Amino acid sequence: MDQILGQVLRNAVWERLDMLADLATRADAQSLVSVARSELPRLTEGWRAMLTAHEPDERGDCPTCSTRWHRCKAPCSVWQVAHEHLVAGGLAPQQDLRRPSRRKPKVPAQTRGTTPGEATGRHALIPQVAHH
């Protein structure tokens, strides 16, 4: 049941982001202003809540990303992504501020958020692309 609920929540978030991105590229100026006034405060509060959960503790570790067996030093990947998208604007080259050589490759947009067997909703209709 938790897995189903998790997939429903993930799909709802992905679809909301898709809708906002679509509005940003297709809406007229008046609609954009209306959407910006309603959505920007929600998005900034969402970022703030997520970043608060990833604030470093007294040892400089991210309490959310760390486990009992593995400590994750700040800045964690959440803070790095926040900086890349909110400050650098995605224009600067991606960099891992802790260990540049250990960056994970980006997940293609077509496959984000779904795994075989759990895909439902609009994102389930996106064909999975096999990369060789």
**Contacts for 10 with CB less than 8 Å, ≥ 6 apart:** 113
Does 44 share its domain with 14? yes
28 located within any domain: yes
The answer as to whether 95 is a domain residue is yes
Indicate whether 69 and 41 sit together in one domain.
Answer: no
- Rounded CA-CA distance 97/74 in Å is 9
**Range name among 29-33, 54-58, 95-99 with the lowest pLDDT average:** 95-99
Q: Can you read off the two tokens belonging to residue 90?
A: 């995605």
Residue 12 pLDDT exceeds 70: yes
Give 90's pLDDT tier (boundaries 50, 70, 90): low
Please check the confidence at residue 96 and state whether its pLDDT lies above 70. Answer: no
Is residue 16 predicted with pLDDT exceeding 70?
yes
DSSP sequence for the chain: -HHHHHHHHHHHHHHHHHHHHHHHHH--HHHHHHHHHHHHHHHHHHHHHHHHHT---TTSB-TTT--SS---BSS-HHHHHHIIIIISTT-SPP--SS-GGGPPPPPPGGGTT--TTT--SGGGGSPPPP--
Residues 71, 49 share a domain: no
